[in-house]
Amino acid sequence: GDLDSLKGNIEDRASVTVLNGEEENGDPKCAKVCSGTTGRRSTDWTDYRGSTGVYTEVDISGCGFVKIPTITTAIEGSGSHWEITGTSAVYNAKTGSFSIYLRQTELT
């Protein structure tokens, strides 16, 4: 009755539509969205380029992607993080991980 109709409406609206990607789309019924965080104070940053940059490899293996996903990144902070470059630059994207490199810009 009404409960089955309600469930059907929710399932119809809870779908994911794949508009485009870097690889050929698979079955749209298998589209997947996964989100997470490396942790506000627990990200394992590694120095590179002397002291002007850091990087980290992010493990996304728990998402279970079978193709390389489209990855969107962001950082948050309490001040001066607007001076950082690389916040949306994803490197070495794979089905189970990716890297991100950050560097402080030189303001003049």
Tokens of 28: 């749209």
Share of the chain above pLDDT 90, in %: 26
pTM of the model: 0.73
Kindly indicate the confidence band of residue 20, based on its pLDDT and cuts at 50, 70 and 90: low
Q: Say which residue the tokens 């992607």 belong to.
A: 65
CA–CA distances in Å: residue 95 to residues 30, 34, 40, 66, 83? 15, 12, 24, 6, 30
Residues 84 and 81: their CA atoms lie apart, in Å, by 5
Count CB atoms within 10 A of the CB of residue 32.
Answer: 13
